[in-house]
């Protein structure tokens, strides 16, 4: 039986590698010894050892988010397995491939008070694409092992519900360190046991018919909108404005496609929001973070915005037909890959046949006015000695030295969405927007960095050259501080050190996003700070130094650009510990700054 355990583990690793797996994230533990040894002794796999299972889960998530290929996460039994749940939920809701292998105690140790024993079968129920509780490996079932391993990879990448997490729970008996026997043979030429081949999609002419008669069509592009080049080509040739989320890959200056980045500020102006109502909206990919943009789409056709008929058609394109419509205003869900749908439009729709004259140009003109107003107001604030959060986001997006931004789901993603300007070479943007939590963001960034450039990512954008930069608030940084803990280097280990990765921490002494909510006005100030603002006693820069990171500390605009450039040079050089740039801002003032920027855009539109 012990030989069966080690042999099964070796077969599992070999078959996952045949399918395409390249990264394993292992947490120390005894019960998982057969799995850990199988990965560590296979030179085809980069092994990353992480102390904290919660951090390890998000690190593995980052690998899948960046590459579109799952990493395999290995934990021991007990609460170690439970710690992974948050990352599994994020992977499930964000459609990120992830393989979780949890070691378990054998059946005879369950229900008798044995240590490190919890009910692990079905632990992630409702949040996985596929789950298997194997029990103790038995040589009598060896003929099924390669099939099981291959299915784990296939379900993580190509489940009917889309990519996502899978869970294998394996029980192991003592002794745990017996070497494996001969492996059952695999398929010839190193092929995986199973391969999922997507069926060809038949052309769907419904969207083409609707676009042929639309007077005011609009594309709203978010993460996973498809090939950004194709989206922008369709927009240019059919004269359709594109509201481009930074995660879409479409926030680029092309000279032809009318790309709109400042939609949040523009649609806060009532006259503009009313005069620019579309008659057809095509939603590609995930929704914007902006409540203003989403509320406008949900209520643009009626004053109540309560889910009634909006007076215009909204089409949601989703490759898996998932109902991603919180406002309940979408008329049709087209189950299709965006690229499949868009590629046929250029031949099926006469260029701008019915589009209202000046429709796209009016959006482009408003975008230019908004970007000019935002830039001018931020320049004034810098001249007045203020380092403000929108300026930090805008500067990062404008930097040619950033390849990928991994942004927190609180204010960082919003500041990037609302205030960064389109440009050639706009960086790739990733975020954990499945469940929108702040947990695991540093770990996710490190996972993205370790696999950066290995493949096209799950976000659908082409990989951009340049280092990976994580942008988090101080609370998110503190929440995931254990991500910076790392084992001493082992010379023969692969892929564990030297990634080009940096962290920018916006330190406003608390939870900045809460200052924008009603609680900031309805709750007494001291109570608000206690329950929502939650300033911490520990200094971010000191903790980063204690973790071995070099730290660049900025509290004003006069040295911000210089420190930013110096920090990025160190990030580009690569290091075991990510360099940290701490930007200290004023949380209360931040709300006023956002209001001032939006007011500047409204004034520019009136002018």
pLDDT of residue 529: 87
pLDDT of residue 456: 46
Distance between CA atoms of residues 74 and 168, nearest Å: 10
Distance between CA atoms of residues 459 and 115, nearest Å: 41
Tell me which residues of the chain have a pLDDT lower than 70.
1-2, 199-204, 300-311, 351-353, 453-464, 487-498
Say which DSSP state 509 is in: S
User: What residues have CB less than 8 Å from 542, skipping those under 6 apart?
Assistant: none
pLDDT of residue 306: 45
pLDDT of residue 461: 42
pLDDT of residue 432: 95
| 444 in Cβ contact with 471 (< 8 Å) | no
| Maximal C-alpha separation, the chain | 80
pLDDT of residue 489: 64
3 state SS of 430: strand
pLDDT of residue 331: 87
Distances (CA, A) of 231 to 139, 191, 325, 417: 52, 35, 21, 18
pTM: 0.92
Cβ burial of 547 (10 Å; 0-12, 13-18, 19+) is middle
pLDDT of residue 308: 46
pLDDT of residue 490: 60
| Cis before 27? omega within 30 | no
3 state SS of 413: helix
pLDDT of residue 517: 85
Q: Where are any strands of DSSP class E within 277-330?
A: 280-284, 313-318
pLDDT of residue 545: 96
3 state SS of 343: helix
Nearest to 220 by CA among 329, 92, 140, 302: 329
pLDDT of residue 343: 85
pLDDT of residue 213: 86
Give long-range contacts, CB 8 A cutoff, 24+ apart: 571-576.
571/467, 571/469, 571/500, 571/501, 571/502, 572/401, 572/466, 572/467, 572/500, 573/500, 574/467, 574/498, 574/499, 574/500, 574/501, 575/498, 575/550, 576/486, 576/489, 576/497, 576/498, 576/548
| 540 in Cβ contact with 505 (< 8 Å) | yes
């Amino acid at each position: 039986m012990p030989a069966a355990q080690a042999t099964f583990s070796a077969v599992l690793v070999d078959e996952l590698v045949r399918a395409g797996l390249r990264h394993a994230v292992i947490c120390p533990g005894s019960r998982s010894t057969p799995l850990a040894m199988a990965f560590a002794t296979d030179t085809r796999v980069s092994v990353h050892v992480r102390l904290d299972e919660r951090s390890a889960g998000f690190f593995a998530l980052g690998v899948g988010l960046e590459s579109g290929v799952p990493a395999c996460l290995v934990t021991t039994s007990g609460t170690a397995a439970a710690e992974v749940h948050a990352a599994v939920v994020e992977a499930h809701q964000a459609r990120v491939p992830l393989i979780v292998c949890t070691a378990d105690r054998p059946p005879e140790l369950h229900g008798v008070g044995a240590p490190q024993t919890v009910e692990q079968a079905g632990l992630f129920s409702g949040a996985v694409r596929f789950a298997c509780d194997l029990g103790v490996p038995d040589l009598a079932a060896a003929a099924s092992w390669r099939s099981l391993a291959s299915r784990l990879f296939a379900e993580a990448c190509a489940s009917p519900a889309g990519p996502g997490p899978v869970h294998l729970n394996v029980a192991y008996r003592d002794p745990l360190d017996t070497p494996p026997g001969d492996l059952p043979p695999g398929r010839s030429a190193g092929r995986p046991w199973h391969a999922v081949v997507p069926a060809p999609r038949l052309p769907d002419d419904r969207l083409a018919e609707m676009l042929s008669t639309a007077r005011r069509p609009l594309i709203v592009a978010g993460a996973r909108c498809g090939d950004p080049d194709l989206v922008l080509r369709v927009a240019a040739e059919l004269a359709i404005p594109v509201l481009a989320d930074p995660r879409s890959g479409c926030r680029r200056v092309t000279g032809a496609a009318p790309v709109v980045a400042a939609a949040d500020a523009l649609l806060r102006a009532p006259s503009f929001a009313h005069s620019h109502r579309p008659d057809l909206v095509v939603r590609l990919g995930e929704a914007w973070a902006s409540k203003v943009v989403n509320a406008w789409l949900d209520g643009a056709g009626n004053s109540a915005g309560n889910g009634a008929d909006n007076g215009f058609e909204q089409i949601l394109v989703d490759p898996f037909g998932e109902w991603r419509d919180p406002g309940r205003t979408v008329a049709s869900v087209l189950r299709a890959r965006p690229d499949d749908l868009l590629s046929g439009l250029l031949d099926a729709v006469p260029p701008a046949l019915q589009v209202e004259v000046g429709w796209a140009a009016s959006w482009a003109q408003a975008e230019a006015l908004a970007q000019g107003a935002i830039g001018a107001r931020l320049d004034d604030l810098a001249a007045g000695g203020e380092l403000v959060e929108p300026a930090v986001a805008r500067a990062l997006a404008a930097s040619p030295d950033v390849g990928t931004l991994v942004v927190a789901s609180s204010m960082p993603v919003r500041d990037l969405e609302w205030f960064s300007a389109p440009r050639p070479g706009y960086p790739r943007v990733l975020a954990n927007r499945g469940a929108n939590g702040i947990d695991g963001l540093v770990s996710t960034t490190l996972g993205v960095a370790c696999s950066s450039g290995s493949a096209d990512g799950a976000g659908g954008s082409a990989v951009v050259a340049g280092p990976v930069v994580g942008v988090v608030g101080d609370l998110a940084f503190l929440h995931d501080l254990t991500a910076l803990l790392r084992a001493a280097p082992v010379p023969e280990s692969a892929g564990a050190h030297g990634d080009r990765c940096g962290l920018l921490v916006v330190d406003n002494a608390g939870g900045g996003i809460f200052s924008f909510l009603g609680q900031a006005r309805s709750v007494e100030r001291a109570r608000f700070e206690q329950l929502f603002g939650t300033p911490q006693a520990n200094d971010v820069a000191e903790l980063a130094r204690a973790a071995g990171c070099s730290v660049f500390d900025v509290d004003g605009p006069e040295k911000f650009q210089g420190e930013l450039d110096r920090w990025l040079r160190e990030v580009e050089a690569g290091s075991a510990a990510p360099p940290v740039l701490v930007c200290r801002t004023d949380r209360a003032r931040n709300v006023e700054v956002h209001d001032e920027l939006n007011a500047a855009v409204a004034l520019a539109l009136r002018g």
